[in-house]
Structure 1
């Protein structure tokens, strides 16, 4: 259902697109900006390695775990309403972050900021899906992908410059400005719409999923400090498994599930979800790990570190739009599979350069990774919306975005833990029983504290251990990305299964399951 008190004009649609693009650009700015500013934030606010890890993971956790709920709320109570409410919350807590006095409050505000981001993103993308159809919708989503790329490309260098000039709190002011522009344009030009068949939020599903993701993230982040055999870690990981099982059971019994599990019967839908998760370990984790390496470990200043990241994220400025144009000649499965394969090549290439390499030598492999991930980036959102009925665009956006963002949060936690373990294993006997503590500090870019734990080791030995661990991690990411490229190509390329067929069969299956439960 739409509010047709004012019809959408071509100019009005463009303003809606621009509003969503501003919101989309703000999300990566707050993500990459915190990564670039983490060493400065650590110096100002202090905090343990796990508290510093939560500075990035708290945002990703709440963002990823509430996206499906936000999508369901948008379908039920109005996409414009959720979009504007989310922007307001996002801007409010972004302002609060600039005045945080200690790392605990910073982490809490990051979590609250993520909730607002989820509402803004789900509501905005669902609203956009109502304004454009067919090829125009695919192009619109490609432009949003490019806007996200602008935030990723210029976020590190802009954040580095603002930190150098005004201090780390300044990185949140640009985010607030973009959110304000999106809020004003959205209030004026976005038309209210909702799903007339929506039945409200699946609260049991939302709470069980959020609790499961929280337990998993907490357990993975705590493991490097306490050990994988620590009772708390075991309890949290076991709780995550049980809560995910409970979430699955809940979604199978409700009439209008937040996550329609019947869709996972279809390879093309599964392929889209794998595609959503792929950038997490092929690209996004590098947005956090590389600034920490460049600034905290290799000693670059924030501006130089941000400049290096342009090679990685710069291709997202134009290639997502180009990918949309390439669909005239190539199937999406071919474009997406080839892009992930290119990213795998770049990851392996980057693994050949140890810590201390000449910075210019890293540009080509970073550019290769960025080019590869940009090709599927521009198609992912459009593909996600295409596999469900238009009326449930909020659910489609929520499922896809949850897979992507929750995957990024979990991947970041897992990759951080793996890098810590690999670094610890490569420090040698000289580190003694302090190897784990040293590795945790190196992973967060705190070279000075790491050296202080075992002064006899020397900085060169610490850098060598970290470098070997980083290279081993990149080999692992290469293998996972290459495998994903093959699976995505095969699943998305399945013939005889149109988006309409998937949507219709999924709806019929859901109705049949509901009737079976009633009898």
Structure 2
């Protein structure tokens, strides 16, 4: 496909291309913060089992995260503009369909398709920006896109709460559709086509094995609270996921142009960046989903009040990532990132001391602390992703980083939801009897009434108390994990660039040695 515009883009054209990508970036966080606020209302309207309700969020995050690398490869091969327009168009179409879904199964299927569209839009958009901008202008453009994502995170819950209160839960997808259509129109007119002339197409075996492995793992983790970890199907799902991940590693080491270059993991600083990419998943993103469910479904807040509470958690993302960039003049990236994660850990520990039903204003302090802590590494992560590897591998490093961050969020949410369910079941104890598992799963999805009907011997107050104790125990666990991550990230990122150069001088792989000899 030839480019419709062969001349160099004017500043005005570049500006509108940036606006198009920013609109798509702002719409994406709305697709998981909005349904989190609306989950109790969706449950009342569409019904569904706890597993089906968990897939409301996980279906989107799973397909989004697992498809990013494949979408990037398709963009390089078939055209970045084409993939971006296709992705945004599908994203808008499936988002509109969600507003009219009549049952939970159709809703979950549309969420999965929406994630595929988001992956194509994100990969095509970011790759297109890299072609339109150079040098410091490119860094500023990527920073603006990151800020747009932050705007969606900061104001998504309150905007969703207002729309749910005024028009019902289907209305939360109207804003998403509006932003997507605006992005589609601007990109269709201003964005030029580009592709990688050396691209060899999609690594289909690698893409399929990776996506299927993530799907089996996520389904197994979500099913375990209902049937038990000893259930044969759960064991088969997790074993299948392990085998597919192993197959994926073998495939990527054998293909000529892998979707995932595993040799990058020989750089300790690159490994540190991947841990940093995963950290917000369990220190921040899971709270964007679990807290609105707690506020609305368990504590009985309105959607608007819950949205206001979430601003305290996400508003720091509007300002602090920029400040973090300025702080690099005086502090190393390792210090800023490690310190930020420790602040988040302190906020998580502080939040664990407030039981369900505590005064809302008492939670603002710990929520702000968590948001402040995660905002400091947030502004540095994308730059670090490409700075810790040789320049010629920057594109691959960005794809791996994005996949780690987004796929990690889906996996973390599935795992954390299963852990919360197990903690609740333990807290309910003997009085709940055999129905403790069913009640715990209902509480995780914010359906207090259904949980109470499962265990009529336990009153509402006791259920809320058990949920609150379990939530606190979960926060203690997340505190420990975030603290350990902070220490490891500080240690790995603190290695000097000279160390990485030494790593790069390590013995060559057989194919690299063969290439060196042929050139000689």
Structure 1, unpaired ranges of 5+? none
Q: Which residue of 2 aligns with 1:159?
A: 160
- Cα separation, 1, equivalents of 2:505 and 2:165: 56
Shift of 1:359: 0.3
Map 1:219-298; keep pairs closer than 5 Å: 219-298=220-299
Count of residue pairs brought into register by the alignment = 516
- Cα separation, 2, equivalents of 1:350 and 1:100: 36
Contact 1:320 1:378 in 2 (8 A): yes
Shift of 1:388: 5.6
- Cα separation, 1, equivalents of 2:364 and 2:420: 22
Structure 2, unpaired ranges of 5+? none
Shift of 1:420: 0.3
1:76 aligns with 2:77: yes
- Cα separation, 2, equivalents of 1:503 and 1:193: 34
Shift of 1:134: 3.8
- Cα separation, 1, equivalents of 2:295 and 2:241: 34
1:489 aligns with 2:501: no
1:437 aligns with 2:423: no
Contact 1:97 1:110 in 2 (8 A): yes
- Cα separation, 2, equivalents of 1:71 and 1:190: 17
Contact 2:280 2:374 in 1 (8 A): yes
- Cα separation, 2, equivalents of 1:510 and 1:84: 40
Q: Which residue of 2 aligns with 1:308?
A: 309
SS at match of 2:40: helix
Shift of 1:513: 7.6
RMSD after superposition: 2.3
SS at match of 1:194: coil
Q: Which residue of 2 aligns with 1:512?
A: 512
With 74-83 and 165-174 compared, the bigger mean Cα shift is at 74-83
Q: Which residue of 1 aligns with 2:450?
A: 449
Contact 1:143 1:320 in 2 (8 A): no
1:462 aligns with 2:491: no
TM-score by length of 1: 0.95
Deviations 1:460-515 (A, max 9, x none): 1111111110000000000111111111112122113488x599879975842887
Deviations 1:291-313 (A, max 9, x none): 00000000001111111100001
Q: Which residue of 2 aligns with 1:199?
A: 200
Shift of 1:455: 1.4
1:172 aligns with 2:173: yes
Shift of 1:391: 7.2
Shift of 1:120: 0.6
Shift of 1:83: 1.3
Shift of 1:399: 1.3
Contact 2:267 2:389 in 1 (8 A): no
Contact 1:71 1:394 in 2 (8 A): no
Shift of 1:319: 1.5
- Cα separation, 1, equivalents of 2:489 and 2:409: 18
1:317 aligns with 2:322: no
Q: Which residue of 1 aligns with 2:64?
A: 63
Shift of 1:143: 1.9
Deviations 1:207-255 (A, max 9, x none): 0000100000000000000000000000000000000000000000001
Contact 1:141 1:382 in 2 (8 A): no
Contact 2:266 2:503 in 1 (8 A): no
The structure 1 segments of at least 4 consecutive aligned residues displaced by more than 4 Å after TM superposition are: 1-4, 387-394, 501-511, 513-516
1:117 aligns with 2:118: yes
Shift of 1:12: 3.0
Distance 1:233 1:409, change over 3 A: same
- Cα separation, 2, equivalents of 1:235 and 1:13: 50
- Cα separation, 2, equivalents of 1:435 and 1:268: 45
TM-score by length of 2: 0.95
